[in-house]
Amino acid sequence: MAKSVFITGAAAGIGRVTALKFAAQGYTVGAYDIDEAGLTSLHEEITALGATAVTGHLDVTDNDEMIARLDEFVAAAGGRLDVLINNAGILVAGAFEEIPISVQHKMIDINCRGVVNGLHAAHPHLRRTPGSVVVNLASASAIYGQAELAVYSASKFFVRAMTEALDVEWGPQDIRVISMWPLYVQTAMTDGVSIGTTKSLGINLTADDVANDIMSAIEPSLLRRRLHQVHFPVGRQATLFAAGSRFSPAWLTRLLNKRLAGTD
Ligand SMILES: NC(=O)c1ccc[n+]([C@@H]2O[C@H](COP(=O)([O-])OP(=O)(O)OC[C@H]3O[C@@H](n4cnc5c(N)ncnc54)[C@H](O)[C@@H]3O)[C@@H](O)[C@H]2O)c1
């Protein structure tokens, strides 16, 4: 039986490119999203690669739908769930007080509650599958709280904490839990976003960069396996910031973040 991967928010951007990479490696791909037109074309592309695609509507904030889609997919994949990718997310940038509270709540619902729903519903399937892996899409904004991205950044700290906690909790059950930390990626999410840090740092990564790193993170090198790497910065900038934040004093990290946000 082929290995299987379940990806949320798979119709576009990072999720879509990742789905195609898994398909190219012969995985049975479960691709779910609220964008059903995007899923139809993705289904065709996966099938053209000779892999099996299972696609369907899933709003990650709806826990009943999450349970139903996961159960259906795992049944179609012969009872196994090798990889779960909690990828669906939204970003709304700007001054905190100017973003309507309903929009702030929606970011929390999709980026945090959606991830909790995915983890909770997938657990029985992951537990039954030897060597299963969960990949959570966090972000470089989980390194230090980001101006003009306060709630988005906080939601990625939430994902970071969920990853660390469950990696420890589920390790004895043979489930690895990891997170990806890209800086800005050229997808619909960042289209038209112009804030201090997009101006100072640029939007340099592609969805392909992130998908490639996901593929290597799920099959880590011997060194990474020994070191038990949990978080995977994507690209040179995020790697530098993640390493720097471990060693620089808090005042210096804050100063750097102020400079990059252009608020001083
Ligand atoms: N683009 C970036 O700069 C960047 C950087 C770091 C991390 N990330 C993270 O990577 C992930 C993917 O981002 P992307 O850049 O590919 O974004 P994207 O906007 O290109 O794609 C996101 C996908 O999620 C889907 N989605 C939105 N709400 C949903 C919901 N409620 N239920 C199910 N699907 C839903 C959308 O329809 C879309 O297909 C997100 O978690 C994001 O926070 C992105």
Give me the CATH number covering residue 37. 3.40.50.720
Alpha-helix residue ranges (DSSP H) falling in the chain: 13-24, 36-48, 63-76, 101-108, 114-128, 150-170, 196-201, 207-218, 222-227, 235-247, 250-261
The overall average pLDDT reported for the chain is 96
Q: How confident is the model at residue 225 (pLDDT cuts 50, 70, 90)?
A: confident
109-166 tens-digit pLDDT: 999 999 999 999 999 999 999 999 999 999 999 999 999 999 999 999 999 999 999 9
Number of domains the chain is built from: 1
- Residues with CB under 6 Å of ligand 1 are 8-9, 11-15, 33-35, 38, 58-61, 87-91, 110, 137, 139, 182, 184-185, 187-190
Residues 6+ away with beta carbon under 8 Å from 1: 77, 78, 79, 80
165: exposed, middle or buried (Cβ count in 10 Å: 0-12, 13-18, 19+): exposed
Q: Residue 78 is part of which domain span?
A: 4-261
184 is an active site residue: no
161-215 tens-digit pLDDT: 999 999 999 999 999 999 999 999 999 999 999 999 999 999 999 999 999 999 9
Which tokens go with 143? 């390194």
- Provide DSSP, 194-261: --HHHHHH---B-HHHHHHHHHHHHS--HHHHHHT--EEEEHHHHHHHHHHHHHS-HHHHHHHHHHHH
* 15 CA from centroid of ligand 1 (Å): 7
